[in-house]
Amino acid sequence: MDYSGIPIYLILGFIILLAIILLLAAFFMRKMAKKQNELTFYEQDAGNKEYDLDLLLRDQAERLSYLAVLLQKYDADGKLRQTVADAQNEERSVAECYKSIQSAGRIMNDMIAKNPQIIENPMYAELMNEIEINARKIHEFKEKYNTAAAKYNKMIKAPTNADIADKWDFEEKEILGASPEMNQ
C-alpha cells in the first residue's frame, strides 16, 4: 500500500483536506456573490426611489411656481419667488429641493396669516388641493427612499449620522487645539 514512499492515508487525507478547502471557498464565494447581488439591488432600489422622489419634487416646485405667480402681489420682498426658483433649480440635490419646497410652504403660510383673503381665490384653492395631494405622495416616497437608502447604507456599512457627528466633534476639538481628554 505504499506508493512512492508516501502512505496512502496521507494522500487520502490531503485529497480530503483539499476538497474541504475547495468546498469552503465555493461556499464563501457564493455567499459573497449573493451579498454583492443584494448590494446592487439595494443600490438600484435607492437610486430608483431617489429618481421618483426627484420627479415628484420638481413637479411640486412647478406647482408652487404657479402659486407664486398667483400670490406675487403679496410677495413684496420676493422671498417666495426666490425660494420657488431655488426649488426648480435642476442643479440642486433632492434634499436641497425638498428643503426649498418646505421653506416655500412656510413663506406661504406666513402670507396667508397676514392676508387671509388669499384663500378666497378659487385658483388658490385648486392649486393648494393639487399641492397637498402631491405633498402626501412626496412624503410617502421620501419614506420609501429613506428606507431603501438605509438598507443600502447598512449593506455597505456606511457611517451613521452619530458616527459622523462624533468625528466632526473630534476634528473641531483638534482644530481648536484642545485634546479630547481635556474637553471631557
161-172 pLDDT, tens digit per residue, is 555 444 444 333
Among 36, 37, 48, smallest CA distance to 148 is for 48
Strand partners, 7: 2
As a whole number, mean pLDDT of residues 100-122 equals: 87
Residue 173 scores a pLDDT above 70: no
Tens digits of per-residue pLDDT, 75-85? 888 888 888 88
91 and 165 in contact (C-beta within 8 Å)? Answer: no
What's residue 23's pLDDT? 93
What is residue 95's three-state secondary structure?
A: helix
User: 49: pLDDT confidence band, cut at 50, 70 and 90?
Assistant: confident
CA 133 to CA 157: how far, in whole Å? 36
CATH class of 39-152: mainly alpha
pLDDT at 157 over 90: no
Q: What is the pLDDT of residue 162?
A: 53
Q: Would you tell me the crossing angle of helices 8-70 and 79-88 to the nearest 10 degrees?
A: 150
DSSP 140-168: HHHHHHHHHHHHHHHHTTPPPHHHHHHHH
Residue 4, sorted as left (phi over 0), alpha (psi -120 to 50) or beta, turns out to be: left
